[in-house]
Structure 1
Amino acid sequence: MSQDLYETLGVSRDADGDTIKKAYRRLARQLHPDVNPDPETQERFKDVTRAYEVLSDPEKRRMYDLGGDPFNGAGGGFAGAGAGFSFTDIMDAFFGGAAGGAAGGGRGPRPRVRRGQDALIRLDVDLAEAAFGTTRELKVDTAVLCSLCQGSGAAPGSSPKQCETCHGRGETVHQQRSFLGEIRTMRPCAACRGYGTIIPEPCRECSGDGRVRSRRNLNVKIPAGVDTGTRVQLSGQGEVGPGGGPAGDLYVEIHVADHPVFVRQGHDLHCTVTVPMTAAALGTTLDLPLLEADLVSDDDEATELETTVELEIRTGTQSGTEIVIGGLGVPALRGSGRGDIVVRVVVETPTRLDERQEELLRELAALRQEEAPDGQVHAAPKSVFSRFRDAFNQR
């Protein structure tokens, strides 16, 4: 060889393997034909690659240091017959060592033991349960640890063996010819699927997976204040991982059923109360049921919960009036306090009157001089689109 290989890579003769590899990566990024295609640079790239091929191999480096020909007389080409170079090392120079690994980028065998997947189930609850919290028992169907092999995947009395194809590396070398010479690439071993080990006698319960499907009962505590779409996380209650790996998490997604009285809006509860025309005119008091009433069963003879609240309909209340009862809505999920109850009053006008009732109403109309009212005509409220159009036209 006419040129010193150490000078070609720019390293000292006592440089260690890491220094040689870093020097090659630096030069390969500068000289690779895809980056710099001129012929002179390509020749230098071949020299750098030949130098790295020798100095990165302890046996060839020793032969070179003793004055021998590390290519065994192959003729000094880019890659001698049967010598080749690792395409992985060139890819490392550009992508930081993520070429051809057996486990998505890393070299070596991939682990059999991995974390399990998260699981998601839906839980239907009543509005009162969502508001005040509850504990429910769920039946969960997930992968659990195999009790026969305790996650190893091997039948009792046996154990995984080293793969004879890849000798435990989890990957094999594949060679092909290209314009760069003979290229070696690393691929996951087909015999062991990249694990580096083979289970000669798989467990009869889990077929070598280390886990089985099972249904189990699980108590889930639902905190107060949850709403539809809220997810409660139970750490470590999801799927057990392959090879008996740690379990993922279980997420319980809440779905709140419709309530016959209340409609929830945030932390507030909305409802409608219909009262007769006379009650709206004269005023009255009603007992409004609270959400707490859903927590009391018919068998509870005595309870400390207040299940109703007094609702005052003031004299002359108009239809559509909203009455706010503070602090009796839904508790906050995070923090303190509760929302409000918003009651919308609807005044009911009688549609059927007997003679006496009609006579009394006509007498009342006469007293109030309302036998032939003119009525009050107001412009209809504008829609959002109309207000936007008017604002745009004024520009």
Structure 2
Amino acid sequence: MSKSDYYETLGVARNASDEDLKKAYRRCAMKHHPDRNPGDAHAEAAFKECKEAYEVLSDASKRRAYDQHGHAAFEHGMGGGGGPGGGYADMGDIFGDIFGNIFGGGGGGGQRAPRRGADVGYVMELSLEEAVGGVEKQIEIPTLDECDTCSGSGSADGKLEKCDTCQGRGQVRFQRGIFSMQQACPHCGGRGQTIASPCGDCHGQGRIERTKTLQVKIPAGVDNGDRIRLAGEGEAGPAGSPSGDLYVDVRVREHEIFQRDGDDLHCDVPIRISQAALGDTIRVPTLGGEVELRIPFETQSGKLFRLRDKGVKSVRSRKPGDLYCRVVVETPINLTAEQRDLLEKFEATFVGEEARKHSPRSSTFLDGVKGFWDRMTS
């Protein structure tokens, strides 16, 4: 009996892509799989035809040979058993390769990539001065580190053996209903190899618990909430696999003078009533030392003064922010008799309507009160 055309068997065009072939095989295999058609010889034969067609067309070299010579390309030189590649493959092999990835399997049956060590987090508290100027600090982190005795291999003699459970593939396959699924080998953890003589210090794990000491360089200009990544300084991976990373989260403590807002700084500067009224030049603090600030005469409490480039130099743009100084006029306390007498004489000069022109906010407030009462009584 002549064989059906492989493309017709899968129901695809001759220029079908690899993805089209895979989808077509999935439909054909699910339709004719013996588990869905128990006792149906026709379905079993159709299922085998689907597998044979896909085995040839999914292999680039076999597909080229088939396109040139048809079924005759596999009648000689490709092994006995009457089929391409030396007989029909095991049902689970091709079916598992197609459907295994749906259930988390690798599809190709290769070893799983080494499992990376866990990332580690560390919260570093800094003063504002340290955050702005940059600092290098030594930290200690409890972690799983590479075992020195076996250099992280987990083996006392450095020798590894092929896993008997998965035969070195790193994955095992099992059948569930019509699906053939695969997962990491539970015996070797997906590595495909086992340790014959485990290391006595780490018991074959390749890592041990210890406190690791690190020098961490904090760049100038970091802010609260910034994160610094140190690649490969996290937990060591099992059996010599790559280490995770260390993430240092920055927390900046409150400062007794300055409040930070991005790259700008803010502070309150107390001044006496005489300084506010007559004007003065005072010295104010910055993170780089004291600077002079001129207070104009008749300055009101709450007035904001901007000192350019006296803030924080950004860790990203390296452009400095500004310092904003808000003056707060203080009421004098602990007055001497002479000071009290002078203030009483000063207060006596504010008489009647003449006094309003010396108090701008008070005048505005009284006008508002008068308007409020007028509206209430009208």
Question: One fold, TM greater than 0.5?
Answer: yes
Q: 2:22 aligns with which of 1, 20, 25?
A: 25
Change (3 A) 1:326 1:356: same
Amino acid at match of 2:81: M
Q: 2:236 aligns with which of 227, 237, 240?
A: 240
Structure 1 stretches lacking a partner, 5+ long = 12-18, 72-82, 293-306, 381-395
> Deviations 1:57-84 (Å, cap 9, x if unpaired)?
99x9723369xxx79xxxxxxxxxxx97
Contact 1:124/1:254 (<8 A) preserved: yes
Change (3 A) 1:27 1:283: closer
> Deviations 1:218-240 (Å, cap 9, x if unpaired)?
21111111100111222222222
TM-aligned CA deviation for residue 314 of structure 1: 2.0
Alpha-carbon distance in 1 for matches of 2:182, 2:345: 102
TM-aligned CA deviation for residue 242 of structure 1: 1.7
Amino acid at match of 1:212: I
Change (3 A) 1:118 1:53: same
TM-aligned CA deviation for residue 43 of structure 1: 9.0
Match of 2:216, SS state, is strand
Q: 1:231 aligns with which of 223, 227, 231?
A: 227
Alpha-carbon distance in 1 for matches of 2:347, 2:205: 86
Alpha-carbon distance in 1 for matches of 2:135, 2:190: 47
Alpha-carbon distance in 2 for matches of 1:246, 1:85: 37
Structure 2 stretches lacking a partner, 5+ long = 10-15, 57-73, 357-361, 370-378
Match of 1:278, SS state, is helix
Match of 1:260, SS state, is coil
Structure 1 partner of 2:71 = none
Structure 2 partner of 1:110 = 112
Alpha-carbon distance in 1 for matches of 2:144, 2:305: 53
Q: Do residues 89 (structure 1) and 71 (structure 2) align?
A: no
TM-aligned CA deviation for residue 24 of structure 1: 6.7
Contact 1:98/1:106 (<8 A) preserved: no
Contact 2:150/2:158 (<8 A) preserved: no
TM-aligned CA deviation for residue 100 of structure 1: 5.6
Structure 2 partner of 1:333 = 315
Change (3 A) 1:24 1:258: closer
Amino acid at match of 1:223: P
Tell me how many residue pairs correspond in the alignment.
Answer: 327
Alpha-carbon distance in 2 for matches of 1:255, 1:342: 23
Alpha-carbon distance in 2 for matches of 1:189, 1:358: 90
Match of 1:291, SS state, is coil
Q: Do residues 164 (structure 1) and 164 (structure 2) align?
A: yes
Contact 2:52/2:83 (<8 A) preserved: no
TM-aligned CA deviation for residue 321 of structure 1: 0.8
Bigger CA drift: 236-245 or 348-357? 348-357
How do 1:5-154 and structure 2 match up within 5 A? 7=5, 10=8, 25-31=22-28, 46-52=44-50, 62-64=80-82, 85-86=91-92, 89-90=94-95, 92-93=97-98, 98-99=101-102, 107-111=109-113, 113-154=114-155
Q: Do residues 277 (structure 1) and 283 (structure 2) align?
A: no
Change (3 A) 1:236 1:196: closer
Change (3 A) 1:45 1:276: farther
Alpha-carbon distance in 1 for matches of 2:20, 2:305: 79
Contact 1:146/1:244 (<8 A) preserved: no
Taking only aligned residues, the RMSD between alpha carbons, in angstroms, comes to 3.9
Contact 2:232/2:246 (<8 A) preserved: yes
TM-aligned CA deviation for residue 341 of structure 1: 1.5
Change (3 A) 1:242 1:202: same
> Deviations 1:84-106 (Å, cap 9, x if unpaired)?
722x634655x6x625666x665
Match of 1:64, SS state, is coil
Change (3 A) 1:85 1:312: same
Identity %: 34
TM-score normalised to the size of structure 2? Answer: 0.72
TM-aligned CA deviation for residue 134 of structure 1: 1.2
Bigger CA drift: 165-174 or 212-221? 165-174
Alpha-carbon distance in 2 for matches of 1:24, 1:362: 101
TM-aligned CA deviation for residue 329 of structure 1: 1.2
Alpha-carbon distance in 1 for matches of 2:292, 2:83: 100
Amino acid at match of 1:64: G
Match of 2:22, SS state, is helix
Contact 1:9/1:48 (<8 A) preserved: no
TM-aligned CA deviation for residue 125 of structure 1: 0.7
Alpha-carbon distance in 2 for matches of 1:357, 1:173: 95
TM-aligned CA deviation for residue 197 of structure 1: 2.2
Alpha-carbon distance in 2 for matches of 1:289, 1:25: 72
Change (3 A) 1:289 1:194: closer
Contact 1:240/1:248 (<8 A) preserved: yes
Amino acid at match of 2:308: G
> Deviations 1:312-364 (Å, cap 9, x if unpaired)?
22211111111112221111212233222111111123467666444433433
> Deviations 1:226-267 (Å, cap 9, x if unpaired)?
100111222222222222223232221111111111111111
Contact 1:118/1:250 (<8 A) preserved: yes
Structure 1 partner of 2:293 = 311
Change (3 A) 1:27 1:326: closer
Amino acid at match of 1:48: A
Match of 1:62, SS state, is coil
Alpha-carbon distance in 2 for matches of 1:356, 1:152: 86
Alpha-carbon distance in 2 for matches of 1:163, 1:44: 40
TM-score normalised to the size of structure 1? Answer: 0.69
